Structure 1
C-alpha cells in the first residue's frame, strides 16, 4: 500500500516535474497546479518507522529515478545530456542524490572524429558532400542502409574531447591539402589546349560585347562543355572539365570543413561559458581575488580558475577568421605576374556551371532509381570552391561583366517562348506531341530551378570571402 499509494505516485510526480522543466524550451502548454503541484525539497523526508522497519521515502525516489534514467539512456544513447540535466535539476530543487549512470558521453553523438578527418582530409573531401545552408557534410555513397553525416554538434564534441588547439592544427592540414590541389589547378589552366580555347573565348566576348548585349552566350558555353569531351575521357567516362569541376568541388569542401570547424569551436566555447554570468565582468573577478586575503591553497585554485575562464573568454571573443587567413596566404601566389595563365579562369566559369548542373541533375535523378550509386541531393562544395578561387584571383568584376546568369535566364525564357509557340501550333488530338511538350517543359523548369539554386549558393559563398 505504501509503495502503490505514496512512493510510486510521488516518484512519478517528481519525474514529470523534472521533464517539464528540462523541456521548457519546447514551449509546453501550462500544467494544472492542482494535479501537478510545484516542486518541494525532499531533504526533510526522514526515514519513517513502520511495523518495526524503517522506510526511507527519499531513498526510494532516488532509486527509482537512478534506475529510470540509466535504463532510458541505454535505450536512446544520444539522450544522455537530457538525463544529465534532469539529474542536476533533481539535486538543486529536490535535494535528491541520484547516482550518475557512468555511461560514456564523448563518443555517443560525435560521429567521425576531427583527428580522423584531419589525417585523411583528401579522402574526406572526395567522399562527403557539403550543404552550405545547414552546415552539414553527407556521405556520398555507402554500402550500408544509412549515410554518415558530420554537423556542428559532432565537431563541437570532438573539440571538447581534444581541446581548442585542434582547430589550428586542422587549418594547417587544410592549407597543405590546398597547396597540392592548387598545383593541379595551375597545371590544368596551363594546358595549351585549354589556354588557347579560353583566350579565344575572351577575344570573342571582347569583340562582340555590343551585339551580345554584354551577356556571355549560353550556346558558346554549352559548345565548350561538349567540345572538351573530344579531348578524351578517363576510365570512369569523365572529361577533363568533369575532373576540373571535381577538383574545385574538393577545394570548396575543404573550405566548408574549415567553416564547420570554426562554427564547432564557437559552439564548444559557448557551451563552456554558458554558466559565466557576464563575460565582460571577468576582470572584476581578478580584482576580487587580488583584494581577498586567501590562504595559499585556495589562492592557487582561484588562479587556475581565473586562467581557465580567461582562456575561454579570449578564444570566444577573438575567434580567428580562418577564411581571411587562407585567402591572404594564397592570394600573393595567385596574383603573381608569373601566373598569368590563371587570369583566364573567369571565362571558364560558364561552361563549368553547365557541367555542374548536368552532373547535379544526373545525381538527383538517381535518387528515384533502384541502384542509387552516385545519387546526391546536395553538393555545395562547387559553389564554395568557385567563390574562393574568384576571390584569390580578384576576378569578381570580370565574372560580373559576363552577366552569365542573366544570359541563362534569357536562354530559359527563349526556350519557354519556343515551347509556347509549339503548343499553340500543335493539334490537341496529337497525344504523343503533347507528352513530348510536357516533358520538355518539365526539363526547362528543372534547369531553371537548378541554375537559380546555384546562383544563390555562389552569391552566398562569395559573401564569406569579401574583404
Structure 2
C-alpha cells in the first residue's frame, strides 16, 4: 500500500541522511573558526546532497516519469483505436488489480525528506509531464488533441492535475505576405473561405498529406501591411477589381444559356401572376422544384466537360466574388487598426507642439514637417474612402457596357442558389468529421452571402429581391413544418406512454389473446408507432439543421448588405 511504500522509502532516505549529519559534525568539531577549510564544510555537504538527489532521480523519479508517460500514450492510442472499432475504449486502472495502479500509490506518498531537502514525487512527475507535453506539442501542433486526451487520462487514472500548455489549439502563426496573395488573388479566392465575423480566411481543403488547415487572420494581414506600407492597400483595388470582373464575366456567360434564361423567365411570369393573388412570397417548395428543373437542364446539356452541376458552377463565382470583397475589407480593417495604433503616438495638440518645437529650434521648416507628419498619422474613421462602394461602382460601369438582358432577372436565381449552398454547407461540415477528405471541407462560407449582396447591389436588384420575400417565406415554411412535427411527436409520445401504462396495469397475460393472435397484432402496432415516432424525430432534426443553415445565410447576407450600403464618404 501507499503507507508501506512511503515508510520503506523514507527509512532508506533517512539512512542516507545519517552520513550528512556525521560529516557536518566532524568538520565542525575538527576545523577551527576562521580556518581556510571552514568554507569547505558547506561545500562537501552540498555535494553530498546533490549525490543523493541524483541517485533518487535516477532510480525513482526518471523511471516513474517515463513509465507513466508511456502508459498515457498507450492509453490514448487504445482509446482512439477502440472508438474507431466501436469498443468500450480505455478502462481506468484499478490500483488493487492492475500493476499500473501501483504507480498511483507511489504518487500519493507524502513528500520525501533527505539531507534537509524535500522531494514531492507527484509534483516532480507533474512538472515532467507538463514540460514534455509542451515540448512535443510545439513540434507537432496537429497532435494537440492527443496531448489533451493524455492530460485527461492522467487526471482520471493517476490524479495528476496537469496545466494546459497555453498554446493555441493546433495553430501557429507564420509570416503572410499580402503582396503574394494579391499576385495570386484568383487562386486565393478559390481555395479559401471567408468568415465575416472573425475576418479570417480558412483553407477549404488541406494540402495533400497536411494535418492542419491554413488560415489567414486579421492579425497576420496587419503585420504584412505594416511591413509593406499602407500603399499596398491602394494597389490592391485594381487587382481585386480585375478578379471581380473575371468572375462576373464567367457568371454572365453561364446565364447566357437560352434554356436557363427561359426557365427563369417562366418563374418570373408565374411570380407576377401569383403575387397579386394569394402568394405573399416566393415559396420554398417552388424553389425546390426550380432546383430540380435546373438539374434536368444540366443533365440534358453536356457542352461543359466539367463534372460540376450547373448550380455549382453558378455558386462558385458568387462565393469567389465574396471572398475577394472580404479580402479588401480585411485590408481596410488592417489599415484602420494600424492608423489607430499610430495615432496614439501623435501629440494631442499637434499645432501647439509644432509651434513650441519651431520656437525652440528656431526653424519654421521643423514645425511644418511635424504638422504634415501629425496630419498623416491622424486617424479619422469618417474620412476613410469606402473601397467596397468603389468596387460596386466600378463593376456596375463594367456591367452597363455589356449585355444585361441575361442578368436582369438574376435575383430569381437566388432561392435556388441558397438551397444549393445549404446542401454544400452541410456536406462540408459533415466532411469535417471524416478522415478521408474526398470533397471540400469547411464549417463557414460567408463569401457566398457577401457575393450575393454585392451582385444584387451592382445589378440594382435589391428592391426586386426584397419584394419576392424569399427569406420570409423560408421562415414561415420552417415554422409551419416545425409545429406540425412537434404535434406529431407529442401525439406519438402520448400514445406510447398510454401503451406502457396499460402494460404495467395488466399483471397476468391473457392466454386467449395469445391464441387468437391479438398479442402479435399489438406488438406490430407498437413497433409501427415507434417507427413513426423515430421518423418524426429524424425529420425534426433535419428541419432544425436546415433552418439553422438558412438563418446563418440570412444574417450573413443582411450584414453584407449593410456593409455595402454604408458609405462613409
Provide the TM-score with structure 1 as the length reference. Answer: 0.71
Deviation per CA, 1:251-284, whole angstroms, max 9, x where unpaired?
Answer: 0000000000000111122222322242xx2233
Q: What's 2:192 paired with?
A: 128
Native 8 Å contact 1:270 1:316 kept in 2: no
**In structure 2, do the counterparts of structure 1 residues 344 and 316 end up closer, same or farther at CA, with 3 Å as the change threshold?**
closer
- Give the total of aligned pairs: 360
Query: In the alignment, is residue 216 of structure 1 matched against residue 282 of structure 2?
Result: yes
Q: What's 1:145 paired with?
A: 211
Query: What SS is found at the alignment partner of 2:409?
Result: helix
CA distance in 2: counterparts of 1:449 and 1:174, whole angstroms: 32
Query: What SS is found at the alignment partner of 2:444?
Result: coil
CA distance in 1: counterparts of 2:341 and 2:369, whole angstroms: 20
Q: What's 1:52 paired with?
A: none
Native 8 Å contact 1:110 1:158 kept in 2: no
Deviation per CA, 1:372-417, whole angstroms, max 9, x where unpaired?
Answer: 4522110000010001111111211111111111111222233224
Deviation per CA, 1:281-326, whole angstroms, max 9, x where unpaired?
Answer: 223333334444437xxx7777655543332227877322101111
**In structure 2, do the counterparts of structure 1 residues 273 and 386 end up closer, same or farther at CA, with 3 Å as the change threshold?**
same
**In structure 2, do the counterparts of structure 1 residues 272 and 201 end up closer, same or farther at CA, with 3 Å as the change threshold?**
same
CA distance in 2: counterparts of 1:110 and 1:291, whole angstroms: 47
Query: What SS is found at the alignment partner of 1:375?
Result: coil
CA distance in 1: counterparts of 2:175 and 2:190, whole angstroms: 18
CA distance in 2: counterparts of 1:193 and 1:114, whole angstroms: 42
Q: What's 2:50 paired with?
A: none
Q: What's 1:389 paired with?
A: 455
Query: What SS is found at the alignment partner of 1:232?
Result: helix
Query: In the alignment, is residue 245 of structure 1 matched against residue 320 of structure 2?
Result: no
Query: In the alignment, is residue 453 of structure 1 matched against residue 552 of structure 2?
Result: yes
Of structures 1 and 2, the one with the larger relative CO (CA 8 A, separation 6+) is 1
* Among candidates 391, 399, 421, match of residue 334 of structure 1: 399
Matches within 5 A, 1:272-351: 272-278=342-348, 281-294=349-362, 306-313=371-378, 318-334=383-399, 338-351=403-416
Q: What's 1:268 paired with?
A: 338
Native 8 Å contact 1:111 1:149 kept in 2: no
Native 8 Å contact 1:131 1:378 kept in 2: yes
Q: What's 2:16 paired with?
A: none
Q: What's 2:8 paired with?
A: none
Structure 1 residue 139: deviation in Å?
A: 1.1
Structure 1 residue 158: deviation in Å?
A: 0.7
Native 8 Å contact 1:416 1:444 kept in 2: yes
Native 8 Å contact 2:281 2:472 kept in 1: yes
Query: What SS is found at the alignment partner of 2:327?
Result: helix
CA distance in 2: counterparts of 1:376 and 1:314, whole angstroms: 37
Matches within 5 A, 1:48-197: 109=173, 111-143=175-207, 144-197=210-263
CA distance in 1: counterparts of 2:366 and 2:361, whole angstroms: 14
CA distance in 2: counterparts of 1:172 and 1:305, whole angstroms: 33
Query: In the alignment, is residue 441 of structure 1 matched against residue 540 of structure 2?
Result: yes
Q: What runs of 5+ residues in structure 1 fail to find an aligned partner?
A: 2-74, 78-107
Structure 1 residue 111: deviation in Å?
A: 3.8
> Which range moved further: 132-141 or 409-418?
409-418
Query: What SS is found at the alignment partner of 2:264?
Result: helix
CA distance in 2: counterparts of 1:236 and 1:341, whole angstroms: 22
Matches within 5 A, 1:370-385: 370-372=435-437, 373-385=439-451
Native 8 Å contact 2:354 2:367 kept in 1: no
> Which range moved further: 422-431 or 327-336?
422-431
Query: What SS is found at the alignment partner of 1:138?
Result: strand
Query: What SS is found at the alignment partner of 2:345?
Result: coil
Structure 1 residue 112: deviation in Å?
A: 2.4
* Among candidates 285, 298, 322, match of residue 232 of structure 1: 298
Query: What SS is found at the alignment partner of 1:463?
Result: helix
Q: CA RMSD in A?
A: 2.8
CA distance in 2: counterparts of 1:327 and 1:293, whole angstroms: 50
**In structure 2, do the counterparts of structure 1 residues 212 and 135 end up closer, same or farther at CA, with 3 Å as the change threshold?**
farther
Query: In the alignment, is residue 367 of structure 1 matched against residue 432 of structure 2?
Result: yes
**In structure 2, do the counterparts of structure 1 residues 148 and 304 end up closer, same or farther at CA, with 3 Å as the change threshold?**
farther
**In structure 2, do the counterparts of structure 1 residues 188 and 448 end up closer, same or farther at CA, with 3 Å as the change threshold?**
same
CA distance in 1: counterparts of 2:361 and 2:228, whole angstroms: 36
Provide the TM-score with structure 2 as the length reference. Answer: 0.59
Deviation per CA, 1:104-146, whole angstroms, max 9, x where unpaired?
Answer: xxxx945421011100000111111101111111111213222
